[in-house]
Structure 1
Amino acid sequence: MSEVLSSSPASAPPPPPPPAVSPPAVSPSAETPGDVIRLALFRDRRGLLLLGGAAGLSGHQIGEALVPVAIGWAIDSGIVAGDTGGFLRDLALLALLFAGLTFSWRFGYTCLTRATLYGAHALRQRVVGRALHPGGAAERRAPGVTTAIATSDTGRVGGFCWTVSELVSVLAAIVTSAVALLAISPALGLIVLLATPLSLLLMQLVSRPLERRSGAEQAAAATAEGLATEFVSGVRVLKGVGAEDEAARRYATASRRSLEAAVRAISAKAGYYGVSVVFSALLTSVIALVSGLRALDGEIGVGQLVAVVGLAQFIQQPMARLGVFGIELAQKRASARRIADQLTTPPAVPVHHQATDARPSSDEERPPAGAPLTSEPAPERASEPGPEPAPALRITPGPETRWPALTVAAGQRVGLVHDSPDEAAALVAILARRAPVEPGRFAVGGTELATLDPETARARHVHAQGGWARVLPDTLHDNVVLDAPLDADTLAATAVDEVAGLLPDGYAERLTSGGATLSGGQRQRILLARALHTSQPLLVLHDPTTALDAVTESEVAGGLAGVTGRAVLLVTTSPALLAVCDTVAARIDGAWTVAPHPRLLTESAAYRELIGA
């Protein structure tokens, strides 16, 4: 915000600063399936590649259509007329025609391959960027579903340039064939010209159920893929709780639905292909019949008959290809719709752009206009005691009793025991800015949490580690702290050295996604070490030791007791962790009590029951 300069006398009080205006919330840009397709086709000069690809494929198809015409011409001018020189000349022109159509194909193929790869990459970046949006997503999708959209759907829409270019080239081939047939026999040309729009209309009608079934097939397949990904990554947990049979039942149900959707889509596709092939075969038969009758009547010569038969055989392939476009368009539109739905999912948490106020604190500190910049130190001022730093976290209760009145200062360890696991998880999600924040209820570092965008809150104020934390497919070292030295005290506090000692390559061991090859306790120690290596003033940990044995949990509790300089909020029911807290806020019988852990343990039977002590 720029400073307001006043021309009033020096004795007059300075004018008040203008009121702060809340910046607009940032949400994913509005996307429609058409926007998605246009992004893949035209953004970043891909329209030129599309134009080159369409020109190359069209040149190839026009050349293919002219081949039977050139052969018929060579027969009439060379063989029938007995002109050897003319025949050799026609053969040379035919060779040039083949060279031209070959070059056109290679040129078009190169342009379209580049356009496809670049277009799919651009869409993939948008999908991944939306998945990584700091505000999250109001609609939760399984990781496998997002993966399917970012891979198969983006690749399918990226190939839309092929569909457009092939459609243009097929129409060019049909027009060229029709003009050639008109030159030989007007009746034959009219047959092709009338059959083409009829074919397009028929295929468009037949493709409508196919589009619906293709979308259902892709959605069902993505759901089954998402379940498979989650079950494979969490197989240890499923075995631990004895849920293998239930997981297998759910996957079998999703797989059966995917199979049924695929069968319906294939049935529609088979019918579509059948109609297309029958229509193109009938057209070819009609052209061959009419040309044969005219040849018998002597209305067309031998070379012309060869040209007509060749064109009739050639045009069958473009006409059949024309019928297939409906299938491809249906599949690509369904994929574009899925990408658009992903991109337009509203965030779970509104994101605000933060304005940085870098102006001087007073006019006295502002250098006079035109004064040279120097590196001389500013004159010393009398030291005055500044205000005490704001607490790392302040929770203000409301009319309900969901949250306690709580203040966590730097260097404090505060435990929070909630009688509702869901409410405890919701509090951690709020502090992590992964859920909406009610204004006026939470403040971090003296700033209201609701006014901070999620990215700023997480980068500068709070590191909250909840159930969403995952082991990454990277080395153990980079899972704990990326491209930075490891802190020996932190590693000892979380017993991560024991995990490294069991791995063949130690801290250089590359872990699988989600830590599938590790035990639950090993994963928790890695995630806890990652949290302790962060630098945010407020550290929020939600049940960080549930998978550890009692001895290791005591070691970790001792390590957390040695954390200094940071405010630590432990949302847990672990007696070992609560014992190292300076104070504990516990919700007992619908009311909050804030007291040291030993006192609660001694005076409250309900508290002892709540923490299982």
Structure 2
Amino acid sequence: MRSGNPSGRDVLTRSVRGQARRVGLGAALGCVHQLGEALVPVLIGVVIDEAVAGQDARRLALWLAVLAVMYVALSWSFRVGARAGERGAEEAAHTLRLAIVRRVLDARGGAEEGRLPGELANVATEDAKRVGAVNMALMRGTWAVAGITVSAVWLLLTSVPLGLIVLVGTPVLLWLGHLLSKPLERRSEAEQDRAAHASGVAADLVAGLRVLKGLGAQQAAVERYRRTSRASLAATLRAARAESWQTGLVLALTGGFIALIALVGGRLALDGRLTLGQLVSAVGLALFLLGPLETFAWVNAELAQGRASAARVAEVLAARPAVVGGRSPVPDPVRGELRLRGVPLGGPDGVDLHVPAGRLTGIAVTDPASAEALLRCLGRESDPESGSVELDGVPLTRLDPAGLRAAVLVAAHDAVLFDGSLAANVTPQAESPSGPAAGEPDGAADPRTERAMAAAHADEVARSLPRGAATGVGEGGRSLSGGQRQRVLLARALRAGPPVLVVHDPTTAVDAVTEARIAEGLREIRRGRTTVVVTNSPALLAVADRVVLLDGGRIGAEGTHAELVRAHETYRTAVLA
């Protein structure tokens, strides 16, 4: 799936083209199956005229053997063709899911803007599945066309009126089915929107369950989800009603069409223009046509839902990036000097800030919004409205975002742990299928990991767990306390060992003694590399080589922690209060 601004039609087209070989094979084998199905009533009519009416036992046995071979062929072709079609549908959905995940994880960001995580998950699962199913629908539609074509040709050869009824009536039925699918398409899109929103709200509430319980806001949360769920249910019911009306009307039209064929065939037989065998074949073909025509109704519904889902997928794939530009490689080697020039951080003026390479710099704030703005700029989650941010003298806007992420790691205080072992959260690539990382019984991995865990005092967390670092932490680390989660998150950032590390409030949930030890461990393990600690923690600021106070979106003071505590009242209030 190429980048750019794909439309829903583009998504559908590429999904089908990507599986053209499998869909083509399935369609070809399905046409063989439909040919056999259509010929069964024809052969039965021949048997009646040539063997039964003539009381010829040998010819009867011969034609029964032909029928048996026909059944074997159509059964085999159906199984193999259906398998190819299903494989194509699943592969298309899988490819689309990968494209959505790549877009969500793109270093330029933007796909998650205005969408809850549950909504994105719904697009990557349900919508991708519906788009993939279009391949199966097109294959089955081809089968139906083949079956109707064979039936029409035989009926034309047998009786021109019967053949004309099929040739003229089938396109009319298809056109009516397409018109009837339009309301379903609109309501299916609304249904998926509401369902995705409900999934997002549910995931959001589950993630914040502890906070909700602490605030006593469970009832408000339940009421919020109830309203969202009811809206989703209403949209689903509207879509179901539209689908039932569409299917029912198409089936009614199809039944009338089949009845017309049978009626005309019966009149022709009474007039002597059709033999008994030909009448049986005509009636059998009329009944056979129910299958292809019902398939067309199903295909119309699948295409309507697929178009609606493709439009939603296209919205994610075409989401505007949060940051643009940047193709230059990151300086090699990265010295780690950061500089802000005239960057607004929530104040009336731009901030000029210099972070020396290879030093531990502490940044204290009087307004949390200033910290958030600084972190977004340093991580290039968004570009400042004015001014510039530089790494080793090169503006971040000129650097490749993916390379920049590897060089400058911003470890936010609200980062999450993944469902897995503690060791896998510190060193994800070390997780083995059996559980422990790097093959160790307690999950301990290489010396680099051990140093990171010791510096963050996450090794104490591991020792307190039943299976050490191999113990699962649960989704979001819910089996750990707040302080334990913070230590594991800090260990993960330290284990990554980027040239520039920016951490935000890494110790707000740990006790003072542990915080002091973590501060010393952080200073030691990051010695000689650029580290920025955005925090008001005295223990962390005390080990910094230099401290900057951001006061009201501007630099209020600079110096060591001890100097600022002695000489700057605003700093003392922010840090020691």
TM-score (norm 2): 0.90
Deviates more, 1:208-217 or 1:533-542: 533-542
The equivalences for 1:23-422 within 5 A come to 28-43=3-18, 46-137=19-110, 139-354=113-328, 392-397=337-342, 404-422=351-369
Give the corresponding residue for 1:452: 399
Q: Retained in 1: the 8 A contact 2:152–2:166?
A: yes
Structure with greater helix percent: 2
Q: C-alpha separation between the residues in 2 aligned to 1:61 and 1:441?
A: 66
Give the corresponding residue for 2:410: 464
Q: Bigger radius of gyration, 1 or 2?
A: 1
> 1:516-539: CA deviations, max 9, x gaps?
322222111111111122322322
> 1:38-78: CA deviations, max 9, x gaps?
322223xx322211111111111121111111101101101
Give the corresponding residue for 2:378: 431
1:559 and 2:521 correspond: yes
Q: C-alpha separation between the residues in 2 aligned to 1:429 and 1:183?
A: 74
Alignment: residue pair count: 554
Q: C-alpha separation between the residues in 2 aligned to 1:468 and 1:62?
A: 62
Secondary structure at the counterpart of residue 342 of structure 2: coil
For residue 270 of structure 1, report the CA deviation from its aligned partner: 0.9
Give the corresponding residue for 1:588: 551
Gaps of 5+ in 1: 1-26, 359-388
Deviates more, 1:426-435 or 1:602-611: 602-611
Give the corresponding residue for 1:485: 446
CA gap of 1:555–1:62, structure 2 versus 1, over 3 A, is same
Give the corresponding residue for 1:546: 508
Q: Retained in 2: the 8 A contact 1:425–1:466?
A: no
> 1:350-390: CA deviations, max 9, x gaps?
253336999xxxxxxxxxxxxxxxxxxxxxxxxxxxxxx96
Secondary structure at the counterpart of residue 418 of structure 2: coil
Q: C-alpha separation between the residues in 2 aligned to 1:128 and 1:567?
A: 31
Secondary structure at the counterpart of residue 36 of structure 1: helix
Give me the CA root mean square deviation.
2.5
For residue 591 of structure 1, report the CA deviation from its aligned partner: 4.4
The one-letter code of the counterpart of 1:449 is L
CA gap of 1:173–1:489, structure 2 versus 1, over 3 A, is closer
For residue 182 of structure 1, report the CA deviation from its aligned partner: 2.3
Deviates more, 1:202-211 or 1:315-324: 315-324
Q: C-alpha separation between the residues in 2 aligned to 1:560 and 1:181?
A: 85
Q: C-alpha separation between the residues in 1 aligned to 2:377 and 2:258?
A: 68
Q: Retained in 1: the 8 A contact 2:367–2:552?
A: no
CA gap of 1:63–1:515, structure 2 versus 1, over 3 A, is same
For residue 411 of structure 1, report the CA deviation from its aligned partner: 4.3
Q: Retained in 2: the 8 A contact 1:417–1:586?
A: yes
Q: C-alpha separation between the residues in 2 aligned to 1:189 and 1:516?
A: 69
Q: C-alpha separation between the residues in 1 aligned to 2:12 and 2:470?
A: 43
CA gap of 1:402–1:426, structure 2 versus 1, over 3 A, is farther
Give the corresponding residue for 2:441: none
Secondary structure at the counterpart of residue 349 of structure 1: coil
Secondary structure at the counterpart of residue 396 of structure 1: strand
- Aligned pair partner of 1:607 in 568, 571, 574: 571
Q: C-alpha separation between the residues in 1 aligned to 2:257 and 2:91?
A: 39
Q: C-alpha separation between the residues in 2 aligned to 1:140 and 1:248?
A: 22
Deviates more, 1:163-172 or 1:450-459: 450-459
Q: Retained in 2: the 8 A contact 1:61–1:172?
A: yes
Give the corresponding residue for 2:536: 573
Q: Retained in 1: the 8 A contact 2:500–2:529?
A: yes
Secondary structure at the counterpart of residue 348 of structure 1: coil
Give the corresponding residue for 1:21: none
Q: Retained in 1: the 8 A contact 2:156–2:162?
A: yes
Deviates more, 1:86-95 or 1:70-79: 86-95
Deviates more, 1:408-417 or 1:256-265: 408-417
Deviates more, 1:316-325 or 1:203-212: 316-325
Secondary structure at the counterpart of residue 466 of structure 2: coil
Give the corresponding residue for 1:385: none
For residue 86 of structure 1, report the CA deviation from its aligned partner: 2.3
Gaps of 5+ in 2: 431-444
Q: C-alpha separation between the residues in 1 aligned to 2:329 and 2:561?
A: 42
Secondary structure at the counterpart of residue 299 of structure 1: coil
For residue 112 of structure 1, report the CA deviation from its aligned partner: 1.3
TM-score (norm 1): 0.85
For residue 316 of structure 1, report the CA deviation from its aligned partner: 1.8
The one-letter code of the counterpart of 1:395 is L
Secondary structure at the counterpart of residue 266 of structure 2: helix
Secondary structure at the counterpart of residue 407 of structure 1: strand
For residue 241 of structure 1, report the CA deviation from its aligned partner: 4.1
The one-letter code of the counterpart of 2:543 is V
> 1:10-38: CA deviations, max 9, x gaps?
xxxxxxxxxxxxxxxxx933322222223
